[in-house]
Amino acid sequence: MTPFDDPKVAAAYDALPKETRAGALVLRELIFDTAASLPHAQPLQEALRWGQPAYLAPKGSTIRIGTHKSASFALFVHCQSRLMGDFTSAFPGEDRLDGNRAILFDNPDQIDPTRHGWLIARALTYHL
The answer to whether the CB of 57 falls within 8 A of the CB of 77 is no
The answer to whether the CB of 98 falls within 8 A of the CB of 70 is yes
Total residue length of the chain: 128
1 pLDDT higher than 90: no
42 pLDDT higher than 80: no
- Beta strand pairing status for 71-77 and 63-68? antiparallel
pLDDT tens column, 83-100: 999 999 999 999 999 999
75 pLDDT higher than 90: yes
In percent, how much of the chain has pLDDT > 70?
A: 98
pLDDT band, very low/low/confident/very high, at 40 (cuts 50, 70, 90): confident
One-letter amino acid for residue 51 of the chain: G
